[in-house]
Structures are given as C-alpha cells and as structure tokens.
Amino acid sequence: MPQSLRMTIVVENSASKRDIRLWAQHGLSIFLEIEIEGGERMNLLWDTGASSEVMLHNAAALNIDPDALDLICLSHGHYDHTGGLMGLLQKRKERVPVLCHPAVFAPKLKARPALKFIGLPFTRDQAVGGIWLECSGPVPLAPGLWSTGEIPRVEAFEDVQGFWTFREGRYCPDAIPDDQALAVDIAGKGLAVVAGCAHSGIINTIRHALEITGAEKLYAVIGGFHLTGADECRIERTVQALKELHPASVRPGHCTGERAVCRLEEAFGDRCSPLAVGDSIEL
C-alpha cells in the first residue's frame, strides 16, 4: 500500500502566479511520485498535456526528468491529454511503458457545430518510444495503486454527449469507453482518485475506484470533472453526491468549468482548491 503520494501539476489550463516560468495550456498532465510499502518508489506520469512544447518546457522548469519516468498512463485518447507524448518519448534514452485503453486509438471527433478531429495527434507507428500496454479493465500497478480501466456508467445524470467516432464504417456517437482514472489507496488516509476528464462522470469514477480497490473511504479527488457547459442541475447533483462521500481534499481543474469550481468551493470551503500549473500536492 502506498505510504505517501506527491503530485506535481505539469500541464493545466491555469498557470500559477507563484512561478512565472510555467506556461498554461488547455490540457492536463500530472507527475506522481509514489512511495510504496518497503521504501520502493514509483514515478508515474498521468497524461501529457496538449503539446510537446509546453509539456517539455514545464517539465524542465519543474525539474522533472523524462528518463526518470517508470510509467506513462493515458486517461483517454483526446489530444489535450496525449499531445505531449511524442516529445517525451523522443526526449528519453530508453523506451517506456504507456498504459491505455484499446479505444484510445479510435477516431475521436466533436461537432460543436462543425466537425473537428480531437483524437491522438500521432499514430501508433509514430510513437516508437512507447511500449504500448492496452487493457480495458483495471490494472494493479503496485500494491494499493490501480488504473481503473473502463468505468461503468451508473448515474443517469452523468451522460456523455457531443462526441463522435467512426466504427465499422459508420459515423456514430462516442461514449468514450477509454476514459479511466487512477486510484491510490494511501495508508492511514484513504483513497485518492486522479481523473483525466472524467467523461464517465466524476461520481461514477469515484465509486468504481472505491469498488475495485476495496478502499473504505474517499480521501481526495483530483483532476478534470468535465462540468464545463453542464447545467445547474448536473452541477448540483454532482456536488451533493460528492458531499456524501466526505472527501478531505477536492482539487478540480482542466475541464471542470468556472461555475462548477465556484459551487465546489462554496460546498467544501478550504477543502477545495482549483489546480494550477506548478502546484505540488502531498497526501
């Protein structure tokens, strides 16, 4: 079981005023330093932001060495979470495992209103520095550390709309089955859930993480909650469901949206703090 977890926000929509060297960009990347029981340590990168330029610039400013990464995990196949991967792979001296859902490579588009490609900005063949590990289900990465795999859609209010794909020669809605999260069961504290965009719904994500880990309580939830553009009903139902889970720390960012962040701050007070590039979170 992880004894401690330190997260550094490498790419995020908002920049920190504390460090003017860092660049903000629409996207997300989080560097996790995990101390496993027995003193072993694991360095994991959760998503890679939207571009190699910003990813590598911020990583250098934050003293994060691409060669120190043990594993890269992708939350899903949208460009703003995968766009920095090629730069990282090219910067490294050796290949590195990249864990993802198989549907990461499916065509991904949105129509708001014109059709726009928003998927991976590279092909599998181009990503030669990655050792691709594809799994649709949960993966135990270390004792107490899991990738969730595909997340069951239970809450009716957490629906997915506006995304499209091509499947078997047909244009059809994309439910984004590749959406996943990280679950870290921290000794003496509880479960930390790290989301990418939470296209499956942040409540669905948390409950699935609790189920697969067997953790007794939620300690922290971090990342994108995908509430940008959500109506007041969905925001309120999300807030109320999250309150019932009693997290000690709520760190929304990326695609959560200003209205939802304001409501979360109102509901959780000093337990809620929005993410910014350069933030260091120790749990």
Q: Are 244 and 3 in contact (CB under 8 A)?
A: no
Tell me: the pLDDT tens digits for 27-58?
999 999 999 888 899 999 999 999 999 999 99
Question: For residue range 176-195, what is the model confidence (pLDDT) as tens digits?
Answer: 999 999 999 999 999 999 99
pTM of the predicted structure, to 2 decimals: 0.97
CB 106 within 8 A of CB 165: yes
Check residue 21 and give its pLDDT.
92
- In this predicted structure, what is the pLDDT of residue 123? 92
Domains within the chain, CATH numbers bracketed? 2-282 (3.60.15.10)
**In the predicted structure, residue 16 carries a pLDDT above the cut 90:** no
Query: Helix or strand or coil: residue 54?
Result: helix
What value does the mean pLDDT take over residues 206-224?
Answer: 98
pLDDT tens, 231-243?
A: 999 999 999 999 9
User: pLDDT of 192-212, one tens digit each?
Assistant: 999 999 999 999 999 999 999
pLDDT digits (tens, 9 = 90+) for 135-174: 999 999 999 999 999 999 999 999 998 999 999 999 999 9
Q: How many residues are present in the chain?
A: 283
Band of residue 112 on the pLDDT scale cut at 50, 70, 90: confident
Alpha-carbon distances, residue 16 vs 70, 199, 221, 254, 262 (angstroms): 27, 26, 20, 14, 18
What pLDDT is attached to residue 37? 80
Distance CA 107, CA 202 (A): 24
Mean per-residue pLDDT over the chain, rounded: 96
